[in-house]
Amino acid sequence: MQFQIMNKITKITKFWLIQPEKPPLLQVLAGGAILPDGQVAIARTLPNPSHGTFPSFTSFQSLQQKRGREIIFTQTSFNEYEINTFRLERKKDVTGISGTGTVAVGCHFKGFGGLAVMQWLTEFTSTAWYIAGLEQIELIHGHKGKTRILLDVEQ
């Protein structure tokens, strides 16, 4: 499957969670994104892979400070852990619920097992994780080509 790549236009802020005293290649604990509604989505690698959301950046930041971890904001990959943001563009709304145009945005944690998180920009915002990543999102929400995933790329 191929996804169309767009220039960097994103409503999502990416960040990295690191453990400062670890050697450089072991510092990255998680990659994350602040979603449009303020939730924080993270994908963790060490010591055990996991993923989840926090209700706000403030709550996430407070917890990480207590643990002595640093949050680094950057749109580029860190220590070869790749994270890309994307938009879900709908040409035709077959269900009559989400509308057309940009209906959702998300983050693809390629360097963290390929999973993805997506948030709907509709009146009733919802957030969901997709273990099989972009392919699963296209299978569920693509409506046989009526909706496209547009990846934002690092410049």
Shared domain check, 56 and 38: yes
Range of the domain at 57: 13-73
Q: What is the CA angle 72-128-35, rounded to 5?
A: 35
Shared domain check, 89 and 58: no
> Number of structural domains, the chain?
2
Shared domain check, 86 and 69: no
| Nearest residue to 127 via CA among 32, 52, 75, 61 | 52
Shared domain check, 100 and 133: yes
Shared domain check, 69 and 85: no
| pLDDT 10s digits, 97-154 | 788 889 999 999 988 889 999 999 988 889 999 999 999 999 999 888 889 999 986 5
CA distances from 69 to 41, 60, 111 (A): 17, 11, 20
- Is residue 51 a contact partner of residue 43, using CB atoms and an 8 Å limit? yes
- Is residue 134 a contact partner of residue 71, using CB atoms and an 8 Å limit? no
| pLDDT 10s digits, 3-38 | 554 444 447 899 989 888 877 666 888 999 999 999
**For the whole model, what pTM was predicted?**
0.84
Shared domain check, 66 and 94: no
